[in-house]
Structure 1
């Protein structure tokens, strides 16, 4: 058999086949990028309600959105917040508004590359630098964002005071980190691996504050609509965000 025989594809045919495979690969990668980049939410009505409120201030920064109730001073408690996978970071503005209302608390919600916190694990650095007056910082997040916030906290515990987990858990041991930890879970969460979350509680300090909210599902931590695989609940979405935000804000202020 020789390369010139009919049983061997010519170079042009091979070239076309390779080009086709490269094109298909590029389309798959590009499609995946668009899928994550578009993101879920935010619910525009919920966001508009916050921005029209006189109780809180929403400030757009380079790569983040900050929500606060008043001027930021050395007495303000700061929370850098990482969004869940494929969720637009501004979907958490309404929940943050509930946390800061009436409290000397500022929440800085980080915009992640392709809406994936795993691609920007250290973006809390820039968020903290944006408010140099704040002396007491916590990091936290929702779902995958909470897991990445835990990793950041484990690596930077000496620079932080707290860690907030929303429908999430730690895969790093922070039990002896000296951090204050709040873990808020939804009793109707159909997305989180509940067994793994329970097992991972051993990674938290013995005095970690654990809160389970009835009538709250996985999507109830933000304003981005229903999530595939989640449990349906009769609780109004705004009421879920209020419960999550109030539990979080009270803990931060305390």
Structure 2
């Protein structure tokens, strides 16, 4: 009996340790470092992103380099769950070279669900009369869809476009009546976002929305944050996948 109790105590301690480790991973987030592992090409290397802090909220702001023809569009990217915002700086830099300003907000605990309506303040601060495209990866994409559905129900239309990356609008987030364009990007070997749910999500997007496949890619290739548990195995390089993702953004932004 004593031996059994000792083993039971050991198992309880191990369980608590693993639980504490999981909680610690969520509560203690890695530092927000701008400029690390974000250069896509020679042109993007010349950019100097800014970490803007307003009322305690931090946002990565990437503006086009001097001399670039400026596009009349602001891009906002909601990061995936537990993914640091700098993971999407590569995309922001590539878009900046093309003339687009992009902002990537930091959420509490890196969970967009903690402040779904963050885009409202970002639009007020950074859009300056420009049209807005809201993009989101994984949980960030779901919360972007939820935000727009909430705005639509309130009679507001804050954005011109929506880009979902390995994501889909939550049940009840009906955007079919929204006057905006939308595109859903799905990585071919994504084992994190359910492909059936991603495809079914088109039913909750405006008419004419497209589902595009990023050939050979996996869920984590939308951001530079390393491999993700449960994800598939890529059959293309990260750079090849990023080229496809950027091309999809180029084509979509050109239609607005």
Normalised by the length of structure 2, the TM-score is 0.78
Q: Which has the greater radius of gyration?
A: 1
Task: Compute the displacement of 1:38 (Å).
Answer: 2.2
2:125 maps to 1:124 = no
SS of residue in 2 equivalent to 1:131: helix
Q: Which structure 1 segments of 5+ residues have no match?
A: 1-23
Task: Compute the displacement of 1:127 (Å).
Answer: 1.8
Rate the CA distance shift 1:77–1:198 in 2: closer, same or farther, 3 A: same
Q: CA deviation digits over 1:213-254, x for unaligned, max 9?
A: 101110010001111111111322232223212311331243
Rate the CA distance shift 1:52–1:180 in 2: closer, same or farther, 3 A: closer
SS of residue in 2 equivalent to 1:78: strand
Task: Identify the range of structure 1 (32-41 vs 201-210) with the bigger mean alpha-carbon deviation.
Answer: 32-41
Higher relative CO (CA 8 A, sep ≥ 6), structure 1 or 2? 1
- Please show how residues 1-254 of structure 1 align to structure 2 within 5 Å: 32-35=23-26, 37-38=28-29, 46-47=37-38, 53-54=44-45, 56-62=47-53, 63-70=58-65, 75-102=71-98, 104-157=99-152, 158-171=157-170, 172-254=173-255
Task: Compute the displacement of 1:130 (Å).
Answer: 2.4
Residues paired across the two proteins, number: 231
Q: CA deviation digits over 1:180-208, x for unaligned, max 9?
A: 11111111111111122222211011211
Q: Distance in 2 between matches of 1:186 and 1:30?
A: 30
Task: Compute the displacement of 1:146 (Å).
Answer: 0.1
Rate the CA distance shift 1:43–1:129 in 2: closer, same or farther, 3 A: closer
SS of residue in 1 equivalent to 2:133: strand
SS of residue in 1 equivalent to 2:37: helix
Q: CA deviation digits over 1:127-157, x for unaligned, max 9?
A: 2222242420121200000000011112224
Rate the CA distance shift 1:201–1:37 in 2: closer, same or farther, 3 A: farther
Rate the CA distance shift 1:74–1:53 in 2: closer, same or farther, 3 A: closer
SS of residue in 2 equivalent to 1:239: helix
RMSD: 3.2
Rate the CA distance shift 1:67–1:209 in 2: closer, same or farther, 3 A: farther
Answer yes or no: is the 8 Å Cα contact 2:202–2:210 preserved in 1. no
Task: Identify the range of structure 1 (211-220 vs 153-162) with the bigger mean alpha-carbon deviation.
Answer: 153-162
Q: Distance in 2 between matches of 1:249 and 1:55?
A: 20
Q: Which structure 2 segments of 5+ residues have no match?
A: 1-14
SS of residue in 1 equivalent to 2:75: strand
Task: Compute the displacement of 1:49 (Å).
Answer: 6.0
